[in-house]
Chains A and B, each alone.
Chain A
């Protein structure tokens, strides 16, 4: 694997290989010495043009556990978000000898530009680009689902026949898009539930079923229900009347979570708006896998960095 830009590029086998590696990486977290020498001498640059806590820290921990050197570069507030400057930044990093660049950018496609431009030779990991994709989030979600369903026997398994309902701001969600491609590749069945204003204009050709009613979706008893964050920073138009109405219609409240089957998994990519798209009761219920998602993020990103950086360079 040269870059990880989109889960659309991942075949079922490649995804399972990544998840299996993540299983081995997860074991490292339980050891006394939480470090592997695998990427010693490699430099990983975290290039964050957009705010992030868990993804940035998670990538940093992942790279450090593999003994890579990590440089975290937050471009917030500077003028580097223009095209030409991205080029300059990339060339600077190339000159410093970066082996991998983890990039988050508010512009969809920025990681692809970096990968295809020839400005820098490093492996590129997309850590979220605009409303396009967030592949490592989808991988950690798939890992979390698989782990909940199969426990210690997860290795080599796919998600055949699992139903996943993704609820909320699909329009702006890179998490929903990445999950759709990955979970479908792994054999799961994905549904989107959202107000009509928060669905993309066209989902033609997407392997997904759309609906507008959360109550119906809950009563259908999905194996997984994934709540998306209402992204205040991207709410530049009136997508719904007000927060209370959204919460009543499309929020996962205590009453709805109680109607889910006992084995259903409640997920949220974080950060949560408690009381808006998810109630505190739902977020802290035994069905909730929110904290597992965070813990699994480190193992999954270790697996991605390992697959990107360990092998011989493919030309």
Chain B
């Protein structure tokens, strides 16, 4: 099947800028914001959003990563996955507003695992979700607060997010 490009580099940049503004708007400023990216590409996106936040309101946006491998509900169905690193910023997450950042929101199961992982790490004041692409087909009552692009898909299609930090090109494709 051929891949069709749905977002180019400039589109991704614009989406992230908009998400950053929305985060600041809904949070009424940048106080007590912690961005946690879900490996692998969620972490990169979280870092980019943090950089944008910082350029709008200097000092905003501490960033970290949250690995959810150990909390997944499909571990017994797949070959063993290698977990990734979890890095929580020095201030912790207690009483903070945590923004979870992932590249694609699909069944919602990753986010369910992330919420469980968060509750073992502390008690945030609020948890929000930002995703670059929302492709639908939710299996759990979870929705994103900040979405780069809503992309209606068929279950058999694949969404590929490629980012320059680790991929040769920057784009979102559907195949």
Establish whether residues A1 and B86, one from each chain, have CB atoms under 8 Å apart when the complex forms: no
Question: Is A311 an interface residue, CB under 8 A from the partner?
Answer: yes
A20 contacts across to B, CB distance below 8 A: 82
Question: Is B55 an interface residue, CB under 8 A from the partner?
Answer: no
Establish whether residues B79 and A37, one from each chain, have CB atoms under 8 Å apart when the complex forms: no
B67, closest chain A residue (CB):
A24
B78, closest chain A residue (CB):
A312
If the complex has contacts A36-B70, A38-B71, A312-B76, are A21 and B121 also in contact, measured as CB distance less than 8 A? no
* Alpha-carbon gap, A314 to B76, bound state (A): 11
Establish whether residues B121 and A33, one from each chain, have CB atoms under 8 Å apart when the complex forms: yes
Question: Is B84 an interface residue, CB under 8 A from the partner?
Answer: yes
- Closest approach, in angstroms, between the C-beta of B84 and any C-beta of chain A? 7
A314 contacts across to B, CB distance below 8 A: 79
Establish whether residues B85 and A155, one from each chain, have CB atoms under 8 Å apart when the complex forms: yes
Size of the B side of the interface (Cβ < 8 Å), in residues, is 19
- Closest approach, in angstroms, between the C-beta of B118 and any C-beta of chain A? 11
Contact of B71 among A32, A37, A306, A307 (CB under 8 A): A37
> What are the interface flags for A13-27 relative to B under an 8 Å C-beta threshold, 1 for contact and 0 otherwise?
000010011011001
A38, closest chain B residue (CB):
B70
Establish whether residues B82 and A21, one from each chain, have CB atoms under 8 Å apart when the complex forms: yes
- Closest approach, in angstroms, between the C-beta of B64 and any C-beta of chain A? 12
Establish whether residues B86 and A307, one from each chain, have CB atoms under 8 Å apart when the complex forms: no
Question: Is A31 an interface residue, CB under 8 A from the partner?
Answer: yes
Establish whether residues B84 and A24, one from each chain, have CB atoms under 8 Å apart when the complex forms: yes
Question: Is A35 an interface residue, CB under 8 A from the partner?
Answer: yes
Establish whether residues A307 and B70, one from each chain, have CB atoms under 8 Å apart when the complex forms: no
* Alpha-carbon gap, A193 to B110, bound state (A): 51
Establish whether residues A312 and B120, one from each chain, have CB atoms under 8 Å apart when the complex forms: no
Contact of B86 among A27, A33, A155, A306 (CB under 8 A): A27
* Alpha-carbon gap, A307 to B70, bound state (A): 11
A1 contacts across to B, CB distance below 8 A: 80
- Closest approach, in angstroms, between the C-beta of A247 and any C-beta of chain B? 44
* Alpha-carbon gap, A31 to B85, bound state (A): 14
* Alpha-carbon gap, A32 to B76, bound state (A): 27
Question: Is B28 an interface residue, CB under 8 A from the partner?
Answer: no
A38 contacts across to B, CB distance below 8 A: 70-71, 75
B123, closest chain A residue (CB):
A32
Establish whether residues A21 and B83, one from each chain, have CB atoms under 8 Å apart when the complex forms: yes
B67 contacts across to A, CB distance below 8 A: 24
Establish whether residues A311 and B75, one from each chain, have CB atoms under 8 Å apart when the complex forms: yes
Question: Is B29 an interface residue, CB under 8 A from the partner?
Answer: no
Q: List 11 A-B contacts (CB under 8 A).
A: A23-B85, A24-B70, A24-B83, A24-B85, A33-B120, A37-B116, A38-B71, A38-B75, A310-B81, A311-B76, A312-B76
Beyond A1-B80, A306-B70, A312-B78, 17 additional contacts (C-beta under 8 Å) are A17-B82, A21-B82, A21-B83, A23-B85, A31-B121, A32-B120, A32-B122, A33-B121, A37-B70, A38-B71, A307-B80, A310-B75, A310-B76, A310-B80, A310-B81, A311-B78, A312-B77
